[in-house]
Structure 1
Amino acid sequence: MRRARELGLAGALLCALAVLLGTPALNVPGIALLLGAIVAPAWVALSAARATLTLCSAVAMAYEGESVALTLELRRGRLPFPDAQLIPWPGAAAVALPSARRGALELSAVLTRRGLHSLGPARLRVADPLGICARELTSARHELLVLPRIHPVNAPSLAPRDARDTAMGRARQSVLELDALRPYTLGGASSRIHWPTVARTGALMERGVSAEGQEPSLVVLDASDPAGEDSLDQALRAVASLCVHLARRGGCRLLLPGERRAAVVEPDLRGWPTLHARLALVHPSSSPPRLGQRLAARTILYVTAAGAGAPALRGRCYRVGPHALVGVAVAFTVAGCSAQLLDGTGRGRLR
């Protein structure tokens, strides 16, 4: 609009000089400048007045590296744009406008990093051919949660703890923990119903995996002091892959940074989408997790993003991470991370 005002002022001066100097020829450029200063802003404003721009997607979550389909919808009024440029999101190249008054463009975007991403806003720049004035329209942002990708686990079976540790774990479970019970699933085996709880509360409850004599495998995420952002991303892919792998083999538990109680990953993956979304939003933590009595689990998979020189867990477990310990045999690999079985002293079996 500033340029339009300057052109209007220049046209008015030329017309005034034409009158003062008695030079009618100056009226021609003066009137042309005045018309340009009036018509160009009016054309841009009227054509963009009824225009709307919308950027949306049919999904709210996607995996790392997955192509996400986006729809960019443009509505405009009866008056055509003098000139327009449409950019779907910041940093993208301009795309051609839909030919119809109400049209949509099908686009795709690939996000390679986990976390909450904001796509957009899309931007439509309407301008006159002479560049006298311009007006911009923007769409709302579209939020998309990118989840850690699931990778296959190259391990046919995970070795349980030794017989002595397993016996100790069973002894600790002589008293049923409250979080080992869950509401009875219709159609489930009647042998799993915990009748003392039914008699006491009147609610049908069944025993979970941990109430049947043996703790399920425990996946622990240590996000403290990661070697880098890429290392943390690799560790989170390993955690997600291990949880899905173990869930399909009877279930497991997942201990996230800052949590005191491990979440249950059921064999039917019923609550997994919520846990998967939480993994996508994990940030580096200030301190490692505290395991305490959880060392009684059948198998512990301690996933860490720390470097190979970081202190190892003092307990019998699998250490899983992108930076393997030197001189310790690799039991299996998952998502670019190496799993090494430690003997309880922070060391493992040599190569």
Structure 2
Amino acid sequence: MTSLAHGGGCGCKIAPDVLQSILASTPQAAPFANLMVGAETSDDAAVWRLNDEQALVATTDFFMPMVDDPFDFGRIAATNALSDVYAMGATPIFALAIVGMPIGQLSAETIGKVLQGGASVCAAAGVPIAGGHSIDSVEPIYGLVALGLVHPDRVLTNRGAQAGDVLILTKALGVGVLSAAFKQGRLDEEGYAAMIASMTQLNTPGAGLSAFPAVHAVTDVTGFGLLGHALEMARGSGVAVEIDPTAPVYLPGAGDLAADGVRTGASTRNWAAYGGSVTLPPDLPVWRRDLLTDPQTAGGLLISAAPEGVEAVMDMLCAMGFSASRCVGRVMTGAPSVIVGRSA
């Protein structure tokens, strides 16, 4: 399937600086009293207050394949779409499928396997795919409109980080590097299995994080890389963020492949898009920068939590199977920016 697509996964997202330029010329929506979260801070989903007890979380996410197995492609795309609901502290309730396929180049059986993969992930999340829309397109595209519910007082956003908070990342990095290696025929079985396992692990802890008073902000790390999504959190919260480049876990083989020059075009594009808002230490190897800017598909949650709540959050994450969770940085006072260096 990858031979039919010019890009794949979250690596085919529009670059953050280009997206900002596009949105800058788009008229802003009129204010609505019940719109709790819109597009102002590039958050993971929109949130609409239904009543005093419920808020509706709505998002959409779709992309082209980064693997050739159609069932796995469907699983990955669905996991990625549901992640935005979890990142807002919500529980998904149902989804709609977005399907664009090159009819005549892919068989009905292959397309059906994509949909089956997506449905299997939604079933694991306890939600139905209740409908959708399909078109005949040049490249294969699949994703979801995902809807969820959360208490209005427990909505998690990317704009609540506070100085003194600790940053926690729940998944290993390196999906983009491994994906690039796969396309080059350089990824071994262990690396491929680890990549698929990471991209199909639902970010279910997000729904539970909304009950932790110490959790101040959450976002998921996807196409803009760890540094890009940390920068969105910094801008949304009006704070500076420091990331320890050695703290995250990296997927098996990702470090060696990156050091050998394997990277995605999106990684380089992401770095260029950050402008002067991300500062690197002068001795940081380029390959390590590539891992920090590496586009993640269905990546982990980036959590900003008060120090006194970190142990409880980490205990919950480990109990739910997120053994790669690590404290990767901290939040500081200062102009919105990201500083890469050792965390204190």
Q: Which has a greater percent of helix?
A: 2
Normalised to the residue count of structure 1, the TM-score between the two structures is: 0.24
Q: Which has a greater percent of strand?
A: 1
> Of the two structures, which has the highest relative contact order with CA contacts closer than 8 Å and spacing of 6 or more?
2
Larger CA Rg, structure 1 vs 2: 1
Normalised to the residue count of structure 2, the TM-score between the two structures is: 0.24
